[in-house]
Structure 1
C-alpha cells in the first residue's frame, strides 16, 4: 500500500557536518519558481515503464541547505488524474547535511551505492572515501568542500499527496538521491525504497516556463 507521510517542518539535520564550510555556489538555475520536465523510469522485471514528470521549486534556502517543491507524475496507470506530491529537499553542503542520509532506511552502504551512480560524483570519490573513514574520528577536519563544485547533490523526500488520496497507486515511502548541474540546470536522480524497484532513474531538463514562488527563512504548510 502507498504510504502517506505528513511533516510540515524542515528535515532534521544529519550529524557530522562541518560548520566551517560555506553554502553551495549560488546558481540562478536552482531558484524559486524554476520548472523542470522529464521522466522517471519505473521499469521492473515484468515490464518497461516510464512516467512523465514535472517538477517546480517552491522554496529555496541555501544557507540552511533546504528547498522544497512539487512533483507531478502525468501517466500513472492506476490514477485517473496526474498525481502531485509535495517534497522537501536536503542540500549536501557538508554544513547542514552530509552525504550520509542516516534515516529513511538508508544505510551508509545504500548511500555509497547511489551516490557513485552519478558520473559527476567520480572526481569526489577518493576524497569521499577518506572523509567517510575519518567520520569514525569525528571527521578530523577533513570534510569535503563543495562550495565551488559545479554540481549540487541533494536528497528529495516526498511528504504527502497534494491532489489525490493514498489509494492513487503510488508510494512515497522512499526518497530521491539527486544531482543538479549548475551549468545547464539538468537533474538526474535515483529513487530509493527497499520495497520498490531499485535505481528508478529520474531525468529532468530545465524549462522556460514563467517563475513563481517565494523565498523564506522558515516554511510551514497547513
Structure 2
C-alpha cells in the first residue's frame, strides 16, 4: 500500500514525536502557561509540527496546530523577513530572550545539543479541534493576514515564547 517504509530516527536532543514542553507565553502585560506538544518531527525536511495550548488567555484553554522553522536548519537564520516581519522587528523580539546569542552567528544543527538551547519560529495555522473557527474573542485570529507567528526557545523541557 505504501511506496516506502516509514523510518523513525533516534530522537535529536529532546525534539521527537510526542515530546512535550511546558512554559510561558509572556507579553508586555501578562504571562500565560503554555504546553508545546510535538506531533511530527522530520529534520531532513526541516519540518516540525504539533499543538500549542495556552491557558488563561480566554475562559477556556485554546489549542492551535502549528508548524516551525528551526534556526540553523535549511538555511533558517534569526532574521526571516517572512510574515510581515522586518529585520529590525525580528531582532527586537529575539533580543527579549536571555538565551539569545549576542554574537548573532548562524547555528548549525550540531550546536543544538551542545548549547542546550533550540531557537524556533512557530506559525499557528488553525484552532483545534475545530479548524473552521477563525476568531476567538480575546485571542489573536489565525485568519488575519499574515498568520501570527511566535519566536520560541526550548531549553531542556521548558519553553519560552
The TM tier, using the shorter chain, reads: 0.7 to 0.9
Normalized per residue, the structure richer in strand is 2
Per the alignment, do residues 145 and 40 of structure 1 end up closer, same or farther by CA in structure 2, a change over 3 Å counting?
A: closer
- What are the superposed Cα offsets for residues 9-45 of structure 1, whole Å, 9 maximum, x if unpaired? xxxxxxxxxxxxxxxxx6331111011223323454x
Q: Residue 121 of structure 1: CA displacement?
A: 2.5
Structure showing greater radius of gyration is 1
The alignment of Structure 1 onto Structure 2 pairs a total of residues equal to 139
- Whole-angstrom distance in 1 between the partners of 2:66 and 2:148: 11
Q: Contact 1:65–1:97 (CA<8 Å) still a contact in 2?
A: no
Q: Which runs of 5+ in 1 are unaligned?
A: 1-25, 129-143, 190-222
The SS at the match of 2:100 is helix
Question: Which residue, 152, 168, 176 being the options, matches 2:118?
Answer: 152
Q: Is the 8 A contact 1:153 1:179 kept in 2?
A: yes
Q: Which runs of 5+ in 2 are unaligned?
A: 1-10
Q: How far apart, in 1, do the equivalents of 2:90 and 2:57 lie?
A: 28
Question: Which structure shows the higher helix fraction?
Answer: 1
Q: Secondary structure of the equivalent of 2:33?
A: strand
Structure 1 runs (4+) deviating above 4 angstroms are none
What does residue range 198-217 of structure 1 map to in structure 2 within 5 Å? Answer: none
